C-alpha cells in the first residue's frame, strides 16, 4: 500500500475544550516517511513532536503530548481523523496549548482533510501486524488486541445512566469509509454534575452544548439530541483510533475493549510498542511477541 499525505495546506480556528483558548490549526503536506508531526508555533522554544508512546504526558480527560512550551492537548480527535482517513504524513502546526475541539467529534477534521485532498505518495506504507494476543486488565476494565488482517474494533461501555447504559460496537472494520460514516460524527460527552469540579481543576473551560453531549441525571440536554442512538460508544472508538495513532504506524489487529478510556488505550500502545521494533521500509510487517503479563 502507498503512503498518503494531504494535497495542500489547510487551516481552521476553534476553541480548546479544556483551555477555552482560541486556537488556529494548520495542516501541511509532508514527505514520505515523515509521519504525523506536531509543533506549537506560538512558543519560540517549542520542538517538533514525533508520534510515540513516550510522547504522551497526560491522559486526564484527553490525550496530551509533549511538555512545557511544546505541550499540545486533546490531540486524539485530529489523530483519529488523520489515521481514520489513511493519512500517513503531515505536519501539524498549532498556535496554542490545545487542538481546537470544533463540534466535539472528528467530523470537522474529516471535512478539513477532504477539502485539502488526500494525495498518494511513492513510499510504501509500513504497518504493525499483531501476531500474538496482548491483553491488559484493570479490575472490570480490559483491553486486548488479537491477530487480524484488518484493523478491527469491538468496544463495550457500561454507565449507570438511563440514556447510556450498556452499549457495544462489535467487529467494526475501521477503514476510511466506515470511519467517516460510522465513527467520525460521534461527539464527546460529559455530565452536568461534574462541570464545576472540572473547571475548578482546569478542565472543560471551553466545553458547551455546541461541542459536548451534556447529560443530567436523566437525559441529554442538547436540544438536537443524539446523532446515533449509541453515540457514546462510537465516540469511545473514535478516541481509541486517535490514541492508537501514537504508535506512529497503522496497526492491523482486532482490539477488544471493555470500559476503556485514554489511560487504558495508552497502556496498550506502550505494550505494543515495547514488543515491536520498527522495520526498514522494505522489511515485512512487524510481528508482536507474547507480553509478560
Residues classed as catalytic:
262
Residues 6+ apart with CB under 8 A from 208: none
The cell numbers describing 239, all together, are 478516541
Tell me which residue of 25, 35, 27 sits closest to 6, measured CA to CA. 27
Dist. CA 5–CA 62, nearest whole Å: 25
Place of cell 522494505: 282
The cell numbers describing 240, all together, are 481509541
Dist. CA 282–CA 126, nearest whole Å: 9
- CA atoms 188, 49, 244, 86: torsion sign: positive
Tell me which residue of 135, 80, 82 sits closest to 288, measured CA to CA. 135
- CA atoms 128, 64, 186, 27: torsion sign: negative
Tell me which residue of 222, 198, 223 sits closest to 212, measured CA to CA. 222
Place of cell 497502556: 267
Q: Which residues pair with 286 in a beta bridge?
A: 128
Amino acid at each position: 500500500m502507498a503512503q498518503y499525505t494531504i494535497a495542500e495546506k489547510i487551516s481552521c480556528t476553534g476553541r480548546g475544550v479544556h483551555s477555552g483558548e482560541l486556537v488556529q490549526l494548520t495542516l501541511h503536506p509532508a514527505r514520505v516517511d515523515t509521519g504525523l508531526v506536531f509543533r506549537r508555533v506560538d512558543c519560540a522554544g517549542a520542538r517538533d513532536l514525533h508520534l510515540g508512546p513516550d510522547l504522551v504526558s497526560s491522559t486526564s480527560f484527553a490525550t496530551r503530548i509533549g511538555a512545557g512550551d511544546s505541550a499540545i492537548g486533546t490531540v486524539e480527535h485530529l489523530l483519529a481523523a488523520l489515521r481514520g482517513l489513511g493519512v500517513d504524513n503531515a505536519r501539524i502546526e498549532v498556535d496554542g496549548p490545545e487542538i481546537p475541539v470544533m463540534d466535539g467529534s472528528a467530523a470537522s477534521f474529516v471535512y478539513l482533510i477532504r477539502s485539502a485532498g488526500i494525495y498518494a505518495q511513492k513510499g510504501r506504507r509500513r504497518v504493525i501486524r499483531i501476531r500474538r494476543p496482548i491483553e491488559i486488565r484493570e479490575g472490570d476494565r480490559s483491553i486486548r488486541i488479537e491477530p487480524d488482517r484488518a484493523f478491527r474494533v469491538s468496544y463495550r461501555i457500561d454507565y449507570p445512566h438511563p440514556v447510556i447504559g450498556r452499549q457495544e460496537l462489535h467487529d467494526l472494520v475501521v477503514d476510511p469509509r466506515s470511519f467517516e460514516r460510522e465513527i467520525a460524527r460521534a461527539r464527546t460527552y460529559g455530565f452536568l454534575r461534574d462541570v464545576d469540579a472540572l473547571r475548578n481543576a482546569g478542565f472543560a473551560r471551553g466545553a458547551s452544548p455546541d461541542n459536548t453531549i451534556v447529560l443530567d441525571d436523566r437525559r441529554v440536554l442538547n436540544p438536537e439530541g443524539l446523532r446515533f442512538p449509541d453515540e457514546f460508544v462510537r465516540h469511545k472508538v473514535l478516541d481509541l483510533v486517535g490514541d492508537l495513532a501514537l504508535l506512529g504506524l497503522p496497526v492491523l489487529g482486532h482490539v477488544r475493549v471493555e470500559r476503556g478510556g485514554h489511560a487504558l488505550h495508552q497502556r496498550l500502545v506502550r505494550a505494543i510498542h515495547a514488543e515491536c521494533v520498527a522495520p526498514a521500509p522494505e522489511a515485512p510487517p512487524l510481528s508482536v511477541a507474547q507480553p509478560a503479563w
